[in-house]
Structure 1
Amino acid sequence: MDAVCSDLVAEVRAFRQRYPDVRYVDLISLDIPGHFYGKRYPIDMLEKVAAGSALKLPQNCVLLGAQGGLFKIGDYCFNDGDPDAPRRLVPGTLKIVDWEKQPVGQMLITSSDTEKPIVFEPREVLAQVLARLERKGIFPVVAFELEFYLFDRQLRDGLPQFARDGATDDTDDQPNMHIERLTRFAPVLDDMVETARAQGIDTTVVTAELGPGQFEINFGHLDDGLRAADWAALFCRSTRGVAMKHDYRASFMSKPYLQHPGSGMHVHVSLYDQAGNNLLAANDQQPLRHAIAGCLQLIPHCMPIFAPNHNAMRRLSGTTNIATRASWGFEDRDACVRVPESDPKNLRIEHRLSGADANPYLVLAAILVGMEYGLEAQQEPIKPLNEDRSSGVDFPTEMLDAVRAMQNHEPVREGLGAEFLMVYCENKRQDHLAFLQEISAREYRWYL
């Protein structure tokens, strides 16, 4: 048994000793639309997998559409015999799931570092980007921020209703960002934070946001980009579960209300060398400007990642603190790429464009590819919004236009991988077309 297997076996045994009543463990991984798929394993079988027994799942699980359906993508799904692909356990991710009626465990799995990695698996895509940067002597430090809404658990006529705490009737009477909203919903919010920490997630600041029942959670900075994205993905899963336990519904949907702000995924990224020097701060911050220029140039060609569905595109409609063009600025929340005030050691960008329901692995991979592209091209960015409020580069806000802009863009193809790009663009195109295959009541009102 090699050292990795030995450590995994020790992790499983320590978990069993701490949680002797847990009988099953969910082995989970994120697919292209950002949903977890996997299998529920008896915990004694998990110890065998940790010791080196084969772990395989269908390769095409990664290709599922937003509603779980399979699309014909190249030779995948219908012409490949639906083959299995090896997976491995991700060390350090075996944690308790205590929001279900009977506690179970959960553990991340991935195809990375197996004999046959799945090149379009989101975690593997990010792993390849990080490995390439490491070979170049670039080491990112990353922190995610996620916004989400709390709703009543029950929909009304299919529509979400903002959460009530028992002290209000039909209106959310707390002003935007009011601290008392945190007090009113403290039981569920505290449970969300403590549950996340039990998952190993370093949750920090909680904020009541602008929308009714809208909140934001911040995570600590990590020098492990994969683990930072793991945290974002796992937080979404645990938060939904905890909300249901408290008779609420938590959603990371990008734009649940037309009249209220959408929910975003903000990603803070700084880059360091092997000695811990901030690369963005060198030479009077010229690398920072180059990295920003690269991000802005690639944003129009990465929109299916940053806004991965029809509803996420709705968020880009010019509401509060949402950019409608690729732009940047110092301490400017209207910009796609914001440079927060900081000392040279912590100089970073904050990428603010993505919807909260975007895939965190792919969002981070696309941001890093943009920064990498900019550092190598060494071009100056357009003027910041601080100097010119009209500064910006147009990007597509319709999914089919966004897919066309992405699928043939060579820097994105080189940065994220040609096979991934083909698979992802076709998945998004077919998912969008499937979404349109329903006649709404409004369509009958307008055209019948």
Structure 2
Amino acid sequence: MKSQSSTLLAEVRTFRQNHPDVRYVDLIALDIPGHFYGKRYPIEMLEKVAAGSPLKLPQNAVLLGTQGGLFKIGDYCFHDGDPDANRRLVPGTLKPVSWESQPLGQMLITSDGTDAPIEFEPREVLAKVLERLQHKGIHPVVAFELEFYLFDKKLDNGLPQFARDPLSEDADDQPNLHIDRLSRFSEVLDDMAQTAKDQGIDITVITAEIGPGQFEINFGHLDDGLRAADWAALFCRSTRGVALKHGHRASFMAKPYLQYPGSGMHVHVSLYDGAGNNLLAAHQQQPLRHAVAGCLELLPHCMPIFSPNHNAFRRLGGTVNAATRASWGFEDRDACVRIPESDPRNLRIEHRLASADANPYLVLAAILAGLEHGLEAKREPIAPLNEDRNSGTDFPLEMLDAVRAMQHQSVVRDKLGAEFVDVYCENKRQDHLAFQQEINAREYRWFL
């Protein structure tokens, strides 16, 4: 603990030397729906926290709904006195915020690694999965890919408008994969990439996607799963901020347009032993097949994680590369679990089902739980799509069905934690019901 405090203190002091104009730092963590919450600390108080002073925030902040409200979940929220819970600073995450009008810093905080971690905190859920795998001699290497849309900064009666081409001032309303779009939006995209790098995120490939104003950005592979998920979470925050600075609105909403492709979170995962050998490639890739079978078995029971809201279910099916059944295949983007072509050293799975607005900590935890279960059960998977285009197993396509499928599945409860599963499912159920409590214009057109 003393060693960690000295490291954190040195990090804060170095930051103050390099950024003398920064007076405040946002201490942030991701809640269950994938939004950041936290507190804005004076920089001099941050030194005290780094030196060992307690850092406490309400435990129930993790349980916020999508709109920020609290739901009655068991004894939490309204029958527990709203207690504080300890958090700690995440080393290496203190970075400048360049998209605000005033100099500012930000730093991740978490309950994992404290004396009493919050069992349902997303980062803690992933930390426990990674710790269990490490004890088994399994070391994941992870890379995220995130798709997002650019819209005009101004909404039209609450509805998004196509992003304006900075060169022509026309709406970018044509679906295409043209690389020219990268050039036309280079100013904002370059700023997004540089800002991410300033946050310590390894940005690699930038792609113009099919939807109008849609892009994808890939991150480098990491042998630290927590850090990989940190990157995905922090990238979403900085990208939204940079877009607003340039007169755009960046959104990771899963399905902003019914007629165009949705935005996904693709996760590449390979597994290695302590000597650096790829576990999936051993024994003529038999462990790969087992891991795929485990992923597909748990996938229908993790749908509230992969599709965390009503809109995310709209993304599934009906457009390019979005599955409606649990499937797998070699070099097949219609599959939920794709096996990219690679040499044995880099053999991996690409999990393609999660929506871009899913919680990256929970998505990775669910994927790793599926891989772990498959390696333990050693079952053969169903036929790949390369052999049978109709291969696949059904999964829920509506939130309440998905919650029911998740809550009582014994393997999911064991791998992700029973307390987390109960809390998460009730949060999603309440959020979904709250979303339904509004009569929209279409209902009046149909039924008035």
TM-score (norm 1): 0.99
Residue 306 of structure 1 pairs with residue 306 of structure 2: yes
- Tell me, what secondary structure is at the counterpart of 2:268? strand
1:148 alignment partner, SS class: strand
Q: What residue is the counterpart of 1:328 in the other structure?
A: 328
Q: Does 1:347 align with 2:360?
A: no
Letter in 2 for 1:151: F
> What letter is aligned with 1:326?
A
Deviation at 1:169, TM superposition (A): 5.6
Residues in 2 aligned to 1:444 and 1:170: alpha-carbon distance in whole angstroms = 34
Classify the secondary structure of the residue corresponding to 1:270: strand
Match status 1:136 vs 2:136: yes
Larger deviation: 164-173 or 379-388? 164-173
Structure 1 segments unaligned to the other structure (5+ residues): none
The residue correspondences of 1:3-22 to structure 2 (distance < 5 A) are 3-22=3-22
Deviations 1:359-408 (A, max 9, x none): 00000000000000000000000000000000000000100000000000
1:173 and 1:293 map into 2 onto residues whose CA distance is 40
Q: Are the equivalent residues in 2 in contact too, given 1:174–1:180 (CA < 8 A)?
A: no
Paired with 1:171 and 1:88, the residues of 2 have a C-alpha distance of: 45
Match in the other structure for 2:79? 79
Return the alpha-carbon distance in structure 2 between the equivalents of residues 301 and 219 of structure 1.
Answer: 27
* 1:211 CA drift (Å): 0.2
Superposed CA offset, 1:145-197 (max 9, x none): 00000000001121101101244465536661101000000000000000000
Counterpart CA distance in 1 for 2:440 and 2:157 is: 14
Look up the match of 1:224. Answer: 224
**2:150 match:** 150
Q: Deviations over 1:177-222 (max 9, x none)?
A: 1010000000000000000000000000000000000000000000
Aligned partners of 1:26, 1:171: CA distance in 2, in Å? 35
Structure 2 counterparts to residues 171-250 of structure 1, below 5 A: 171-172=171-172, 176-250=176-250
* Partners of 2:217 and 2:43 in 1: CA distance: 32
1:416 maps to: 416
Aligned counterparts of 2:328 and 2:445: Cα–Cα separation in 1 = 42
Distance 1:160 1:306 in 2: 24
**Aligned residue for 2:291?**
291
Q: Quick check: 169-178 or 182-191, which moved more?
A: 169-178
Q: What does residue 270 of structure 1 align with?
A: 270
Equivalent residue runs for 1:376-391 within 5 Å = 376-391=376-391
SS in 1 for 2:38: strand
2:64 corresponding residue in structure 1: 64
What is the rounded CA distance, in whole Å, between the counterparts of 2:367 and 2:199 in structure 1? 26
**Counterpart of 1:34?**
34
SS of the equivalent of 1:206 reads: strand
Give me the CA root mean square deviation. Answer: 0.9
Deviates more, 1:170-179 or 1:119-128: 170-179
Alpha-carbon separation, structure 2, partners of 1:214 and 1:445: 31
* SS of structure 2 residue aligned to 1:20: coil
Tell me the secondary structure at the aligned position of residue 305 of structure 1. Answer: helix
SS of structure 1 residue aligned to 2:11: helix
- Give the distance between the partners of 2:432 and 2:36, measured in 1 at CA: 20
TM-score normalised by L of structure 2: 0.99
Does residue 393 of the first structure (1) align with residue 393 of the second (2)?
Answer: yes
Rounded Cα–Cα distance in structure 2 between residues aligned with 1:20 and 1:44:
12
**Equivalent residues of 1:146, 1:218 under 8 A apart:** yes
Distance 1:354 1:45 in 2: 38
Separation of aligned partners in 1, 2:444 and 2:173: 36
Partner residue in 1 for 2:430: 430
Structure 1 residues 137 and 152 mapped into 2: Cα distance closer, same or farther (>3 Å)? same
Question: Secondary structure at the residue paired with 1:25?
Answer: strand
Q: Structure 1 counterpart of 2:286, which letter?
A: Q
The Cα of 1:317 is off from its aligned counterpart by 2.8
Say whether the 8 Å CA contact 1:119–1:125 is kept in structure 2: yes
Q: What number of residue pairs does the alignment pair up?
A: 448
1:90 shift after superposition: 0.3
Q: Distance in 2 between matches of 1:170 and 1:311?
A: 28
**Equivalent pair of 2:337/2:350 in contact (CA under 8 Å):** yes
Kept in 1: contact 2:175–2:211 (CA 8 A): no
The question of whether the paired residues in 1 share the 8 Å contact of 2:163 and 2:171 is answered with no
- Which amino acid is the alignment partner of residue 35 of structure 1? H
Partner of 2:91: 91
- Taking the aligned partners of 1:426 and 1:325, their CA distance within structure 2 comes to 25
Q: Give the letter aligned to residue 2 of structure 2.
A: D
Q: Which amino acid aligns with 2:206?
A: V
Alpha-carbon distance in 2 for matches of 1:50, 1:173: 48
Determine the C-alpha separation between the residues in 2 that align with 1:233 and 1:259: 27
Q: Aligned pair in 2 of structure 1 residues 169, 2: CA closer, same or farther (>3 Å)?
A: closer
After alignment, is 363-372 or 167-176 more displaced?
Answer: 167-176
- Kept in 2: contact 1:89–1:109 (CA 8 A): yes
Tell whether the 8 Å contact from 1:174 to 1:181 is kept in structure 2 after alignment: no
Which deviates further from its counterpart, 217-226 or 111-120?
111-120
Q: Which residue of 1 aligns with 2:365?
A: 365
Q: Distance in 1 between matches of 2:113 and 2:127?
A: 9
Relative distance call for 1:203 and 1:166 in structure 2 (3 A) is: closer
Whether 1:315 and 2:323 are equivalent positions in the alignment is no
SS in 2 for 1:289: helix
* d(CA) in 1 for partners of 2:128, 2:166: 49
Query: Unpaired segments of 5 or more residues in structure 2?
Result: none
1:51-93 CA distance string (max 9 Å, x none): 0000000000000000000000000000000000000000000
